[in-house]
C-alpha cells in the first residue's frame, strides 16, 4: 500500500477539473472539452493505479483514510476500497471518460454541460469510496441533483417531464433512506456514522426487520426496482447521450451499491427476513422488463427496459445472500454498466445523424454504417447473454446462486432468457438488417475518433468475457467477508 | 502442457485468431481475409489430424483442465480439453468440412461485398465448433454451444439486407434458444450437484445413480430431459425443427457447413458424448426414440414435395439427424456417431454440388435448374449423384453402411417392432425423395411440355452466357466437390474401427456388421431402397414420366407437407401471438397503470397545491374580506350561542 491518500486524490481529480472548467471562459469550448477529457484520463489513471496496487489476498478495506471531521456527531472523512467498490470506481472512470469523448461534438452550452457532468461524477466517486454514512447520503444527493439540469437543458423527447419525474422519484428514495440512516445512527447508540463500526452494532431483530425495507426500497428506486422503475426508461429517453450512459451505466448502480454496502451488512437479519420478497420483486423486474422491452418502438426505450430487466438480475443476486449470487451481482453491476453505456453511445450516434430513434423509421443501418451498427449489435448480444462477453458470466453466477436459494424463481428467470434474446434480436433485425423503411439522408459511418470511446467499452466487455477471473479475483474476497457477516 | 493438449489448443484458437484479425482489419481486403482464414483452418485441420494420430489411433483418453472462473470461496469452474477417440475424430471432421467449405466459398462468394466478413464469420464458426467438440466439461460445452448459435445467426443472416435471410436468422436464433434454456438449466443442475460438470464425472455420476452417488435416478431423468431440450433445438428435431428449412436463406456453402459437421451435429454429438448418462434414463431414451422416428418420417414426407433443392436437402438433414438419434436412443453410440460422420461428408457434398448448379442457374428451383443445362457441370453431377447414392443408402456408398448399422441396432437392440418397421419405411422414403431430386434436377424437361417450352430460351442463354474457361474460384468449387465425392466411397469402411474405439465394449457394437456381411436386414434395406429409387424413376426419371410425385397430386396434402405440417402456422397462432399479446399488455400496464399511478400522484399533489394556493393569492383586499367575514361569522356564532344560553 502506498502512502499517498489515493482515494482523496481520486476525488480531487474531478474537483480540480471542475474548478478548471469553471475558470475557463465559456467562449473556449475546445479548451473545456480538453479539460474534461484530461480529467477523465487522470481519473482513469488513478483508478488504474488503485487496481494495480490493490491486493486481493488482503481481506477488508485497503487504502483506508480515516480523519475525524465533526467528532461531536461522529462524522469522519473515512474512505476505503474493497473488492465491491473497486470495480465500481473503475466503471465510473470508464463511463465518465468515454462519455466525455462521446459528447465531443456538443455545441450547446459546452461549459455548463461538462461542469454538471463532472459534478455528478464527483458525487458518484464519493458514494463509491466513502465508508461514512453521513458522507454516503451527502454524495448521493450530489450525484442526483445535476441530473435534473443535464436532462432538462440538453435532453430530447419530453425532457422537462422526464427530468422532473426522475428527480421526484429519486427524492422519494432519499426520503426513505434519510430517516432510515438516522435510525441506524440513533439505534446503534455509538455516536458514529462510521459504516464499519455500525456493522458491528447488532441491532435488535425487530428493528432490522422494520428498517431494512426503507433502505431496500429507498435504494431500490435508484436501481430501477419494480414497480418504482418508470422514472428510469423515461429519464433515459429524455437524457442526452452521455447522461444516459452515466445514468444507466453508473447511477443505477448507486442504488444496488447502497443495498450492498449499507443495508445488508448493517441489517443482516432484515436482509434474511425480506430475502424472499426482494427476490420475487427482482424476478418481476427481470421478466416484466423483458416483456415490456419486446414491444417498444423507440430504441432508447428498449434499452431503458432492458436495464430494468438486467438490474433485476443484480437485485436477484443480492437477494440470494450467497457468495455466488453476490459475486455475480457485483460483476453484473460492472458489466451492465459498460454494456448499457455502449448501448446508449451507439444509439447516440444514430440519433445524432438521423434524428430519429423510431425503429419503424429505421432499418438496414448495418449497410450504411456498419461499424456504428456493430457497436449496438455487440451491446445487444451482450445483453442477450451470449458468451464471450462479460454479462454471460455475471448472469451465470447469479443463476447458480439463485438456483440454490430460490429454485423456482431461478427457473422462471432462466426461462425468461428466451424473451431477452427475442427483444434483443428483434431490435437488431428491425433496425440494422433489411432495408431502410424511410428515406434518410446519406450519412457516413462513424469516424475513428468517435468510434474510440465505443471501442474502449467493447474492449472491456470482451476482456472480462474472455477472462472473467481478472475481475472476480478482486470481487470474491470481499463478498466472502460480507456473506460471512450475513450468516 | 503435453503435446496433445497444445495441438488441441492450436486446433481451437487458430480459427479464433483468424476471425479476430479478419473482422478487425481485413474486411476490405477479401483475398487476404480468405487466405488467412483458410490457412488458419488448415492449421486447425492438421492439428486435429495429429490428435487423431496420437490420441484416437492408440485409443487413449486425456483430460486437462485449468481454473477459469471462481464461483465462490470453495468452488470454481474450469476450462480444458477432453481428448479421446470421439472428440478428436469429430474435431477432424469439423475442421475438414469447414476447410472444404472455405475453399469452395472462394468461388461461390467471389465478388460479394461482404466477402471478408463472411470469412471472419466462418472462422468464428470453426472456433466455436472445435471448442464444443474438445470441451472437457459441460459448462464449456454450453459456452461454445451458444457461440455456435451466434455464428449460425450471423451466417444465416449474412445477406442481412434481404428480409428473408434476416427473418430466418432471427427464427433460428430464438427457436434454438428455447431449447437452450433447458440445456442451461440442466448444466446448472449438474454443476450444483457435482461441483464441476466434467464429462467423465457426469457419466460416472449417472452410473452411480441410486447407489449412493451424488445424483438420484430421478435427478438423472430430469437432467436428461433438460439436456435433450437443447439437443432437440440444435439438431432441429420434433417440434423445434422449423427453423432449419428457413435457414436455407443463408449462402449455400453455409448450409453445407450448418447441416453437416457443425450446428445441427452439435446436438447429436452431445448425446454421443454423454451417451452412458442418457442411457441411465431409459424412459427418456424411449421417448427420444419415438420422437426421432416421428421426426424422421415427417421430415421425409416434407422432402417429397419440396421444389427447392436446398429445402429437399434441409428436410433430409432433419430426417438423417433423427436416424442418428434413433441409434443413440436405441443404445448404440457407435452407430449414431458413425452415421454422423458419413452424413457430414455426403451432406456437405450434396449442398456444395447443389451450390454449383445454383451458382450457374441463379435459382434454387429444381425444375428451373434442369433447364440450365445442368449436365454441363461435371463436378456438380458427380457430386450430386455420389452424394444422393450415399444419402439414399446405396451400396457401396458411405450412407449405406452407417444407415444399415442404425437399422441393425434398432432391430437387435430390442426397440419396439413398429418403430423398427417405421425406420425401414423411412429408408425407402429417403431413397424416393433423394432420387426425385436427382431426376428433377439433372433430367431436363422433355420437349413438348409447357415447362420445357418456357425453359428453352433460358437454357440457350445460360449456355451462351457461360464463359468457356472456368475461373480459379470455379475450379476450387469443382475440386472440393470431387474430393468429397471420393470420400463417400471411403468413409463407409470406418464403422468397425469407430465402434472399437469410441465405445469399447458397448453391447450393441456387434450390430455394426463388417462392410459386406449380408443378412436379412441389409437385404431388406437394399430392397426398400431399390423400391424407392424405382418409384422415383417411374414418376420422374423415365421417358414420358409425369414429373409429379404421388404426394404432390392432392393439393391439400402437398400444401400441408410443404408448409412444415402447418407447425409454423400453429406457432404463429399460439405461442408467438400470446407472447406478443403479453408484451403489449405489459407495455400498456407500464404506460397506463404503473406510470399513470405515479403521474396521478403528481397531478394530485400539484392540484392540491393549486387549491391551497388560492388562500395565499397576495391580495390584501381579499385577506381583509376573509378576515372581516370570519370575524362576522365568529361574532354571529357567539351571539347565537349567547342568545341560546
ipTM of the prediction: 0.91
- The answer to whether residues B482 and B597 belong to one domain is no
Report if residue B380 sits inside a domain. Answer: yes
The answer to whether A308 and A224 have CB atoms below 8 angstroms apart is yes
Task: At A364, give phi and psi (nearest 5°).
Answer: 70, 20
Burial class (CB in 10 A: 0-12, 13-18, 19+), A376: buried
CB contact residues (below 8 A), chain A span 365-424, against chain B:
366-367, 381, 385-388, 392-393, 396-397, 399-400, 403-404, 410-411, 414-415, 417-419, 421-422
Residue B166, all three cell numbers:
434476416
Report if residue B620 sits inside a domain. Answer: yes
Task: At B111, give phi and psi (nearest 5°).
Answer: 85, -5
In sequence order, what are the beta bridge partners of B69?
A: B77
User: In this complex, which of A419, A434, A480 lies closest to B73 when CB atoms are compared?
Assistant: A480
In sequence order, what are the beta bridge partners of B82?
A: B63
- The answer to whether residues B407 and B365 belong to one domain is yes
Per-residue pLDDT of chain A (487 residues; tens, 9 = 90+): 457 888 999 999 999 999 999 998 888 988 999 999 999 999 999 999 999 999 888 888 889 888 889 888 889 999 999 989 999 999 999 999 999 999 888 888 888 899 999 999 999 999 999 999 999 999 988 888 888 888 888 888 788 888 888 888 888 999 999 999 999 998 888 888 888 888 888 889 999 999 999 999 999 999 989 888 888 888 888 888 888 898 888 989 999 999 999 999 999 999 999 999 999 999 999 999 999 999 998 899 999 999 999 999 999 999 999 999 999 999 999 999 999 999 999 999 988 888 888 888 888 888 888 899 999 999 999 999 999 999 999 999 999 999 989 999 999 999 999 999 999 999 999 999 988 888 878 888 888 888 999 999 999 999 999 999 899 989 988 998 899 888 7
Which residues of chain B does A285 touch, with a Cβ-Cβ cutoff of 8 Å? none
Residues 6+ apart with CB under 8 A from A141: A123, A174
Which whole number is the average pLDDT over B248-264? 89
- The answer to whether residues B297 and B429 belong to one domain is yes
Mean predicted lDDT score pLDDT of chain B: 87
Of B67 and A256, more confident: A256
Among B152, B129, B336, B340, CA closest to B244: B152
The predicted structure's pLDDT at residue B467:
47
Report if residue B390 sits inside a domain. Answer: yes
Could you tell me how many residues make up chain B?
A: 645
- The answer to whether residues B388 and B309 belong to one domain is yes
Instruction: Compute the distance between CA of residue A239 and CA of residue A343 in angstroms, rounded to an integer.
Output: 14
CB contact residues (below 8 A), chain A span 120-179, against chain B:
165, 168-169
pLDDT at B28 over 90: no
H/E stretch holding A76: strand A75-81
Question: Is residue B468 very low, low, confident or very high in pLDDT (cuts 50, 70, 90)?
Answer: very low
Does B161 contact chain A (CB < 8 Å)? yes
The predicted structure's pLDDT at residue B539:
87
The angle formed by the CA atoms of residues A382, A387 and A388, to the nearest 5 degrees, is: 85
Query: Radius of gyration of chain B from Cα atoms?
Result: 32
Tell if the CB–CB gap between A418 and B177 is shorter than 8 Å. Answer: yes
pLDDT at B73 over 80: no
Among B286, B590, B637, CA closest to A293: B590
pLDDT at B208 over 80: no
DSSP type of residue B476: H
Which residues of chain A does B594 touch, with a Cβ-Cβ cutoff of 8 Å? 227, 229-230
Which residues of chain B does A230 touch, with a Cβ-Cβ cutoff of 8 Å? 590, 594-595, 598
Long-range contacts of B461-464 (CB under 8 A, 24+ apart): B462/B360, B462/B361, B462/B371, B462/B372, B462/B373, B463/B373, B463/B376
Instruction: Compute the distance between CA of residue B104 and CA of residue A68 in angstroms, rounded to an integer.
Output: 74
- Percent over 70 (pLDDT), chain B: 93
Neighbours of A400 (CB within 10 A): 25
pLDDT at B551 over 90: no
User: In this complex, which of A366, A426, A479 lies closest to B160 when CB atoms are compared?
Assistant: A366
User: In this complex, which of B70, B174, B584 lies closest to A469 when CB atoms are compared?
Assistant: B70
Residue with cell 434499452: A303
The predicted structure's pLDDT at residue B377:
84
Report if residue B523 sits inside a domain. Answer: yes
Residue B121, all three cell numbers:
464469420
DSSP type of residue B550: G
- The answer to whether residues B314 and B439 belong to one domain is yes
Which residues of chain A does B586 touch, with a Cβ-Cβ cutoff of 8 Å? 288, 291-292, 295
Range of weakest confidence among A457-461, B205-209, B586-590: B205-209
The answer to whether B307 and B313 have CB atoms below 8 angstroms apart is no
Of B513 and B256, more confident: B256
Residue with cell 443476486: A317
> In Å, how far are A340, A344, A380, B420, B645 from A251, measured between CA atoms?
12, 14, 21, 63, 69
- The answer to whether residues B418 and B528 belong to one domain is yes
The predicted structure's pLDDT at residue A107:
85
Residue of chain A nearest B114, judged by CA positions: A367
The answer to whether A461 and A339 have CB atoms below 8 angstroms apart is yes
pLDDT at B95 over 60: yes
The predicted structure's pLDDT at residue A363:
82
Distance from CA of B122 to the nearest CA of A (A): 17
Among B570, B566, B587, B576, CA closest to B171: B576
Report if residue B372 sits inside a domain. Answer: yes
Residue B583's domain comprises 575-644
Q: Is A358 helix (H, G, I), strand (E, B) or coil?
A: strand
In sequence order, what are the beta bridge partners of B137?
A: B198
The predicted structure's pLDDT at residue B409:
86
The predicted structure's pLDDT at residue A4:
83
Of B227 and A242, more confident: B227
Which whole number is the average pLDDT over B455-480? 63
Report if residue B130 sits inside a domain. Answer: no
The answer to whether B493 and B130 have CB atoms below 8 angstroms apart is no
- The answer to whether residues B541 and B582 belong to one domain is no
Report if residue B135 sits inside a domain. Answer: no
H/E stretch holding B83: strand B76-83
**CA B215 centroid distance within chain:** 30
Among B241, B30, B197, B40, CA closest to B125: B40
Total tally of structural domains belonging to chain B: 2
Tell if the CB–CB gap between B160 and A433 is shorter than 8 Å. Answer: yes
Instruction: Compute the distance between CA of residue B60 and CA of residue B20 in angstroms, rounded to an integer.
Output: 33
Question: Is residue B470 very low, low, confident or very high in pLDDT (cuts 50, 70, 90)?
Answer: low
- The answer to whether residues B538 and B395 belong to one domain is yes
Residue A229, all three cell numbers:
422503475
The answer to whether A127 and A139 have CB atoms below 8 angstroms apart is yes
Tell if the CB–CB gap between B147 and A388 is shorter than 8 Å. Answer: yes
- The answer to whether residues B536 and B619 belong to one domain is no
Report if residue B481 sits inside a domain. Answer: yes
Residue of chain A nearest B142, judged by CA positions: A387
Amino acid at each position: 500500500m502506498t502512502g499517498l491518500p489515493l482515494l482523496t486524490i481520486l476525488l480531487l481529480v474531478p474537483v480540480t477539473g471542475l474548478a478548471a472548467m469553471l475558470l475557463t471562459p465559456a467562449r473556449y469550448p475546445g479548451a473545456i472539452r480538453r479539460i474534461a477529457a484530461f480529467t477523465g484520463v487522470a481519473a482513469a489513471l488513478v483508478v488504474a493505479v488503485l487496481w494495480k496496487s490493490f491486493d486481493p489476498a488482503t481481506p477488508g478495506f485497503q487504502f483506508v483514510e480515516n480523519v475525524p471531521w465533526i467528532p461531536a456527531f461522529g462524522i469522519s472523512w473515512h474512505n476505503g476500497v474493497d473488492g465491491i467498490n473497486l470495480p465500481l470506481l473503475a466503471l465510473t472512470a470508464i463511463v465518465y471518460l468515454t462519455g466525455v469523448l462521446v459528447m465531443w461534438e456538443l455545441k450547446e452550452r459546452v461549459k455548463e454541460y461538462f461542469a454538471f457532468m463532472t459534478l455528478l461524477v464527483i458525487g458518484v466517486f464519493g458514494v463509491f469510496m466513502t465508508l461514512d454514512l453521513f458522507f454516503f447520503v451527502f454524495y448521493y444527493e450530489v450525484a442526483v441533483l445535476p441530473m435534473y439540469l443535464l436532462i432538462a437543458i440538453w435532453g430530447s423527447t419530453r425532457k422537462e417531464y422526464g427530468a422532473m419525474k426522475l428527480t421526484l422519484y429519486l427524492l422519494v428514495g432519499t426520503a426513505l433512506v434519510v430517516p432510515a440512516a438516522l435510525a441506524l445512527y440513533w439505534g446503534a447508540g455509538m455516536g458514529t456514522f462510521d459504516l464499519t463500526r455500525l456493522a458491528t452494532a447488532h441491532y435488535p431483530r425487530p428493528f432490522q426487520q422494520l428498517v431494512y425495507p426503507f433502505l431496500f426500497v429507498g435504494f431500490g428506486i435508484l436501481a430501477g426496482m419494480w414497480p418504482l422503475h418508470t422514472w428510469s426508461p423515461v429519464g433515459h429517453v429524455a437524457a442526452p447521450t452521455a447522461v444516459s450512459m452515466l445514468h444507466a451505466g453508473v447511477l443505477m448502480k448507486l442504488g444496488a451499491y447502497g443495498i450492498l454496502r449499507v443495508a445488508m451488512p448493517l441489517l443482516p437479519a432484515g436482509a434474511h427476513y425480506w430475502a424472499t420478497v426482494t427476490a420475487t420483486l427482482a424476478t418481476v423486474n427481470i421478466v416484466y422488463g423483458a416483456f415490456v422491452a419486446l414491444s417498444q418502438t423507440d430504441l432508447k426505450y428498449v434499452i431503458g427496459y432492458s436495464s430494468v430487466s438486467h438490474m433485476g438480475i443484480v437485485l436477484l443476486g443480492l437477494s440470494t445472500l450467497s457468495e455466488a449470487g453476490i459475486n455475480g451481482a457485483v460483476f453484473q453491476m460492472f458489466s451492465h454498466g459498460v454494456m448499457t453505456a455502449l448501448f446508449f453511445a451507439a444509439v447516440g450516434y444514430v440519433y445524432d445523424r438521423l434524428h430519429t430513434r423510431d425503429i419503424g423509421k429505421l432499418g438496414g443501418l448495418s449497410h450504411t454504417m456498419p461499424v456504428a451498427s456493430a457497436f449496438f449489435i455487440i451491446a445487444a448480444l451482450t445483453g442477450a447473454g451470449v458468451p464471450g462477453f462479460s454479462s454471460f458470466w455475471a448472469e451465470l453466477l447469479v443463476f447458480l446462486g439463485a438456483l440454490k436459494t430460490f429454485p423456482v424463481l431461478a427457473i422462471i428467470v432462466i426461462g425468461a432468457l428466451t424473451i431477452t434474446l427475442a427483444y434483443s434480436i428483434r431490435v437488431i433485425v428491425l433496425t440494422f438488417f433489411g432495408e431502410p423503411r424511410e428515406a434518410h439522408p446519406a450519412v457516413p459511418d462513424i469516424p475513428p475518433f468517435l468510434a474510440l470511446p465505443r471501442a474502449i467499452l467493447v474492449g472491456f466487455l470482451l476482456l472480462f468475457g474472455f477472462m472473467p477471473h481478472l475481475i472476480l479475483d478482486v470481487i470474491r474476497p470481499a463478498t466472502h467477508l460480507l456473506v460471512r457477516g450475513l450468516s | 502442457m503435453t503435446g496433445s493438449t497444445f495441438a488441441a489448443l492450436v486446433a481451437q484458437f487458430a480459427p479464433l485468431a483468424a476471425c479476430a484479425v479478419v473482422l478487425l482489419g481485413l474486411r476490405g481486403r477479401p483475398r487476404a481475409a480468405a487466405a488467412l482464414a483458410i490457412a488458419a483452418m488448415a492449421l486447425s485441420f492438421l492439428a486435429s489430424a495429429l490428435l487423431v494420430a496420437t490420441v484416437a489411433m492408440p485409443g487413449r483418453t486425456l483430460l486437462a483442465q485449468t481454473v477459469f472462473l471462481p464461483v465462490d470461496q470453495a468452488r470454481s469452474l474450469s476450462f480444458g480439453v477432453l481428448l479421446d477417440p470421439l472428440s478428436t475424430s469429430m474435431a477432424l471432421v469439423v475442421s475438414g468440412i469447414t476447410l472444404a467449405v472455405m475453399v469452395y466459398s472462394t468461388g461461390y462468394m467471389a465478388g460479394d461485398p461482404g466477402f471478408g466478413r463472411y470469412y471472419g464469420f466462418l472462422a468464428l464458426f470453426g472456433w466455436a465448433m472445435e471448442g464444443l467438440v474438445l470441451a472437457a466439461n459441460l459448462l464449456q460445452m454450453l459456452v461454445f454451444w451458444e457461440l455456435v448459435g451466434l455464428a449460425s445467426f450471423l451466417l444465416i443472416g449474412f445477406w442481412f439486407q434481404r428480409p428473408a435471410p434476416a427473418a430466418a436468422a432471427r427464427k433460428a436464433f430464438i427457436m434454438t434458444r428455447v431449447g437452450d434454456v433447458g440445456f442451461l438449466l440442466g448444466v446448472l443442475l449438474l454443476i450444483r450437484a457435482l461441483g464441476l460438470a466434467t464429462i467423465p464425472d457426469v457419466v460416472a455420476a449417472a452410473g452411480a445413480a441410486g447407489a449412493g452417488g451424488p445424483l438420484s435416478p430421478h435427478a438423472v431423468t430430469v437432467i436428461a430431459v433438460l439436456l435433450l431440450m437443447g439437443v432437440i433445438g440444435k439438431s432441429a428435431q420434433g417440434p423445434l425443427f422449423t427453423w432449419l428449412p428457413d435457414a436455407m436463406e443463408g449462402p449455400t456453402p453455409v448450409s453445407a457447413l450448418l447441416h453437416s459437421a457443425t450446428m445441427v451435429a452439435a446436438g447429436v454429438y452431445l448425446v454421443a458424448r454423454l451417451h452412458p448418462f442418457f442411457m441411465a434414463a431409459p424412459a427418456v431414451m424411449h421417448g427420444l426414440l419415438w420422437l426421432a422416428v416421428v421426426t424422421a418420417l415427417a421430415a421425409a414426407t416434407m422432402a417429397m414435395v419440396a421444389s427447392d433443392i436446398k429445402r429437399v436437402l434441409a428436410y433430409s438433414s432433419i430426417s438423417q439427424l433423427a436416424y442418428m438419434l434413433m441409434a443413440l436412443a436405441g443404445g448404440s453410440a457407435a452407430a449414431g456417431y458413425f452415421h454422423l460422420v458419413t452424413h457430414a461428408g455426403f451432406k456437405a457434398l450434396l449442398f456444395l454440388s447443389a451450390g454449383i448448379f445454383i451458382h450457374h442457374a441463379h435459382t434454387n428451383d429444381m425444375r428451373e435448374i434442369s433447364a440450365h443445362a445442368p449436365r454441363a457441370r461435371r463436378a456438380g453431377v458427380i457430386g450430386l449423384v455420389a452424394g444422393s447414392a450415399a444419402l439414399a443408402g446405396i451400396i457401396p456408398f458411405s450412407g449405406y453402411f452407417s444407415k444399415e448399422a442404425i437399422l441393425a441396432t434398432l432391430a437387435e437392440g430390442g426397440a419396439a417392432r413398429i418403430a423398427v418397421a417405421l425406420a425401414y419405411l423411412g429408408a425407402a422414403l429417403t431413397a424416393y425423395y433423394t432420387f426425385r431430386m436427382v431426376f428433377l434436377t439433372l433430367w431436363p424437361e422433355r420437349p413438348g411440355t409447357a415447362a420445357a417450352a418456357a425453359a428453352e430460351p433460358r437454357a440457350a442463354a445460360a449456355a451462351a452466357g457461360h464463359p468457356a474457361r472456368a475461373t480459379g474460384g470455379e475450379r476450387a468449387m469443382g475440386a472440393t466437390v470431387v474430393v468429397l465425392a471420393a470420400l463417400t466411397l471411403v468413409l463407409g469402411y470406418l464403422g468397425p474401427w469407430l465402434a472399437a474405439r469410441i465405445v469399447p465394449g458397448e453391447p450393441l457394437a456387434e450390430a455394426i456388421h463388417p462392410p459386406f456381411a449380408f443378412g436379412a436386414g441389409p437385404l431388406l434395406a437394399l430392397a426398400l431402397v431399390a423400391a424407392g429409387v424405382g418409384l422415383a424413376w417411374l414418376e420422374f426419371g423415365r421417358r414420358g414420366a409425369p414429373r409429379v410425385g404421388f404426394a404432390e397430386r392432392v393439393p391439400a396434402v402437398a400444401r400441408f407437407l410443404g408448409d412444415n405440417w402447418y407447425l409454423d402456422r400453429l406457432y404463429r397462432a399460439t405461442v408467438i401471438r400470446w407472447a406478443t399479446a403479453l408484451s403489449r399488455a405489459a407495455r400498456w400496464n407500464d404506460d397506463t397503470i404503473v406510470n399513470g399511478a405515479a403521474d396521478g400522484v403528481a397531478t394530485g399533489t400539484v392540484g392540491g397545491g393549486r387549491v391551497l394556493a388560492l388562500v395565499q393569492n397576495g391580495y390584501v383586499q381579499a385577506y381583509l374580506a376573509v378576515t372581516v367575514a370570519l370575524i362576522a361569522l365568529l361574532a354571529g356564532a357567539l351571539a347565537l350561542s349567547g342568545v341560546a344560553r
